[in-house]
Structure 1
Amino acid sequence: MMEKVNASSEGYFVLLGFSNWPHLEVVLFVVILMFYLMTLIGNLFIIILSYLDSHLHTPMYFFLSNLSFLDLCYTTSSIPQLLVNLWGPEKTISYAGCMIQLYFSLALGTTECVLLVVMSYDRYAAVCRPLHYTVLMHARFCHLLAVVSWISGFTTSALHSSFTFWAPLCEHHQVDHFFCEVPALLQLSCVDTHANELTLMVMSYIFVLIPLILILSSYGAIAQAVLRMQSTAGLQKVFGTCGAHLMVVSLFFIPAMCVYLQPPSGNSQDQDKFIALFYTVVTPSLNPLIYTLRNKDVRGAVKRLMRWG
């Protein structure tokens, strides 16, 4: 039997990442760097534009700015480390670095689940309760919803990441992933991890499945309201804003469900890596494009900003 050790005594983990495909590492480095730059530019653009243009000082763009800031933090918690590991022969991360990475990736991922529910409620209020919208979604309530989203994510992560690192690890400290993620870390433990797996499953149902059900319920009500609409312009506006949000929800929740709504042994590790690569690299870079393309509010804000400049 392998000796149980405290990983902190080793001082580091080895992130194996994509070392099984050394010929792919240079290609992955270039592609991931491009997506990361797109994420930084696109999300900073939305945050700055929403702040500068008073026409965008609405609940929808307030929550979208929160989502953009969240995506910036989420990608930055893992992608720079991945780029360093892809570029050089060293693929290590310190024990403290791994703990921090796990904590923030869990916290930000959970926050995004809750924030996407809040954004769907905002769209529900705008479409189904238009006469009461300004009363329902007043500034103080919007700030409260955003704070609840962030606090729920960071509190949940503190509990769950602590529980993950309490599991005794074996001598072998090679993480078969490109960042410190719960399922990959649980595979390093040489004790029974059923309690951890059950906790992960329960938390995933609470913060992935339930939010998804709430979002789909909101859009069920929106669909009914849309079918009753007579105005073509109104229909186009609803489909524009709600369609963008539904696309973002799909890009985030489908990969998350593939990884978290089953035991760590459910997928092959290689499959998990590429799914994780999608929701940590691709999805945050596409969100700004989805929300800004064919968006008249954003185009108008850009024109006003250029005239003002």
Structure 2
Amino acid sequence: MEPKNQTDTSEFLLLALTEDPELQTLLFSLFLSMYVVTVLGNLLIVLAVTFDSYLHTPMYFFLANLSFTDICFSTATIPKMLVNLQAQNPSITYAGCLVQVCFVLIFGVLENFLLGVMAYDRYVAICHPLRYTVIMNTRLCGLLILLSLFISIMNALFHSLMVLQLSFCTDPEIPYFFCEVLQVIEVACSDTLINNIFSYFAATILGGVPLSGIIFSYIQIVSSILRMPSVDGKYKAFSTCGSHLSVISLFYGTGLGTYVSAAFTYSSKKTAVASVMYTVVTPMMNPFIYSLRNRDMKGALRKIIRSIPAFQ
């Protein structure tokens, strides 16, 4: 196939989850239900944190931002997949693919940073409890969110501008159900050396720094908990980190599984399952993890639900 300039590439072909029309209808219903649960569950957390004054603390402020990020991350990928399943057409326009690449990068990297910020919040709360309110003040919390968002946006813009310089062959096929930057670079017909170097460098820095911060924070947290004389104190301290550790494990576990599957597996089905776990299941599970393991959150959610006329 002869390479074309990117302006001549009208569309990309995304991975078709199945060729069976009946199974496509079933998958459409399943993923639509999961998307609705994801949006409603995360939206309830945002509303609970916003309207319950008892939850106006740094921990829940970061949690509300994480839930909003999950809504945006899911919205960047799932609606297009639903449209493709309904239309039984796995294509996406060139412009649509670039927009999806940009938003997936923004909200994927932002979630990564938020998990790191939340780990730092738990570190200060457990290791420096007397100085917690002084250190985690409103100004610092706002700056951490804005800095994370700024880095995420700049990274996405650089990636998108670099992808714009690439040329693509006719009808390039992406082995995901959404446009992911590394997969888009892989199907380019022009030289992608600079793109690959920048992608792996950015992934190492933007992924490694928050993960290193998380590991450092929890080493200090565990060390501090082990020095506590009271068993009740140890349990209470650890319980405040349980939900966050569960979300971290789910996020990094499914993310690592997705890229390992794409790099070392030639089965499109296994790649599809891994990418679905990362982009669909993880944002849906986060609200359940935090609401089921947290009494304050469950109490705030009950207030929200009771205030809805349909439940009165």
TM-score (ref. length: structure 2) = 0.90
Q: Which residue of structure 1 lines up, in the alignment, with residue 266 of structure 2?
A: 268
CA drift of 1:219 comes to 0.5
SS of 1:93's equivalent?
A: strand
User: C-alpha separation between the residues in 2 aligned to 1:92 and 1:206?
Assistant: 32
Which stretch of structure 1 is more off in the superposition, 66-75 or 177-186?
177-186
Deviations 1:233-271 (A, max 9, x none): 433332222111111111111232344579x65443623
**How do residues 1-309 of structure 1 correspond to structure 2 at under 5 angstroms?**
2-19=1-18, 24-260=23-259, 265-268=263-266, 270=268, 271-302=270-301
Which stretch of structure 1 is more off in the superposition, 101-110 or 239-248?
239-248
User: C-alpha separation between the residues in 1 aligned to 2:282 and 2:168?
Assistant: 32
SS of 2:12's equivalent?
A: strand
- Residue 212 of structure 1 contacts residue 253 of structure 1 at CA under 8 Å; is this kept in 2? no
One-letter code aligned to 1:125: V
C-alpha distance 287-306 of structure 1, shift in aligned 2 (>3 A):
closer
- Residue 204 of structure 1 contacts residue 261 of structure 1 at CA under 8 Å; is this kept in 2? no
C-alpha distance 107-230 of structure 1, shift in aligned 2 (>3 A):
same
Deviations 1:57-97 (A, max 9, x none): 00000000000000000000010000111122222222211
User: C-alpha separation between the residues in 1 aligned to 2:263 and 2:166?
Assistant: 17
C-alpha distance 101-303 of structure 1, shift in aligned 2 (>3 A):
closer
Which stretch of structure 1 is more off in the superposition, 87-96 or 229-238?
229-238
One-letter code aligned to 1:109: G
- Residue 12 of structure 2 contacts residue 171 of structure 2 at CA under 8 Å; is this kept in 1? no
CA drift of 1:277 comes to 0.9
- Residue 15 of structure 1 contacts residue 91 of structure 1 at CA under 8 Å; is this kept in 2? yes
CA drift of 1:14 comes to 2.4
- Residue 167 of structure 1 contacts residue 189 of structure 1 at CA under 8 Å; is this kept in 2? yes
User: C-alpha separation between the residues in 2 aligned to 1:115 and 1:286?
Assistant: 16
- Residue 17 of structure 1 contacts residue 179 of structure 1 at CA under 8 Å; is this kept in 2? no
C-alpha distance 307-41 of structure 1, shift in aligned 2 (>3 A):
closer
Which stretch of structure 1 is more off in the superposition, 16-25 or 182-191?
16-25
C-alpha distance 261-124 of structure 1, shift in aligned 2 (>3 A):
farther
C-alpha distance 19-52 of structure 1, shift in aligned 2 (>3 A):
same
One-letter code aligned to 1:173: P
One-letter code aligned to 1:69: F
Which stretch of structure 1 is more off in the superposition, 15-24 or 171-180?
15-24
CA drift of 1:275 comes to 1.4
CA drift of 1:303 comes to 5.0
Which stretch of structure 1 is more off in the superposition, 83-92 or 190-199?
190-199
One-letter code aligned to 1:33: L
SS of 2:13's equivalent?
A: strand
C-alpha distance 163-273 of structure 1, shift in aligned 2 (>3 A):
farther
User: C-alpha separation between the residues in 2 aligned to 1:5 and 1:274?
Assistant: 31
SS of 2:255's equivalent?
A: helix
User: C-alpha separation between the residues in 2 aligned to 1:265 and 1:278?
Assistant: 16
> RMSD of the alignment, in Å?
2.2
Q: Identity across aligned pairs (percent)?
A: 41
CA drift of 1:217 comes to 1.1
CA drift of 1:24 comes to 4.1
Which stretch of structure 1 is more off in the superposition, 272-281 or 297-306?
297-306
CA drift of 1:17 comes to 2.9
